[in-house]
Structure 1
């Protein structure tokens, strides 16, 4: 039962992040400026410093910091959302010397408003926030629907209609 609750919480966090990102305006600056935004290795014609590229951070990441759940979602356009405790912060992830996050929290919280993605290896992502917090997050395991759900009893048959 506890495993089902954890999966449900992870799914809920992913859905909230996805909804929040789709509510953000489109900002396809990477495509318009010819930015790399694609891979960890620099492509021909880019001056991307070695480090974490936007593509390395794309997706949804989950973790626990100080006993509290944290979710970070970054999309291909560089839009980012972090959900921590009761705070929802959204903004951008931008490549430069480092991959940085610049977020605004509707409630004014600043713990996760500005930070740098220190590493991302496909399984784990580490964010160092300017507030001094550090989040180590993981990709959620996608294992499909639970298989141990109780079956639904058959409906009683209805009497024939005249």
Structure 2
């Protein structure tokens, strides 16, 4: 299962750079639609680029599944093991707060909008709207899984 996640994480990282490269797991039309239709809770719709600290690949576990979140520039992608589709959207600063907005082609609403509560070179905490609540992620360096995966925090 770890090898499959590393492959998925590498695919997310590779395709999030906008270079294409023949990745069959993504849908170019849904990617563009997700990025252009992600709602802004502030109502302004003005999203600037995500901070340098937010950039990269992040891993957590939730409900016995591994969750991989990748942020590159203003784009974000999320993959959960056991689900056929992965979610796409935007990440960036809105009215002084780092936010992540995702749209999932399977209609899943667990992680639609997330406020980044804290982030540094090793970890990130995101409070998601929907049923997920607060999650703590560990930074994945060089396409490798962290030695210890965080677990879902209580709400």
TM bracket (short chain): 0.5 to 0.7
- TM-score normalised to structure 2 length: 0.63
Between the two proteins, the alignment pairs up a number of residues equal to 116
- The residue that corresponds to 1:92 in the other structure is 90
Counterpart Cα distance in 2 of 1:17 and 1:143: 10
Q: Which has the higher contact order (CA 8 A, sep 6+)?
A: 2
Give per-residue Cα distances to partners, 1:97-147, cap 9 Å, x unaligned: 211111110011100111111111110111110114222111224498xxx
Q: Which runs of 5+ in 2 are unaligned?
A: 19-27, 37-45, 145-155
Give per-residue Cα distances to partners, 1:40-64, cap 9 Å, x unaligned: xxxxxxxxxxxxx521110111121
Counterpart Cα distance in 2 of 1:74 and 1:139: 11
- The residue that corresponds to 2:121 in the other structure is 122
- CA RMSD between the two structures: 2.7
Is 1:68–1:84's contact at 8 Å kept on the other side of the alignment?
A: yes
Larger Rg: 1
Q: 4+ residue runs of structure 1 moved beyond 6 angstroms?
A: none
- TM-score normalised to structure 1 length: 0.61
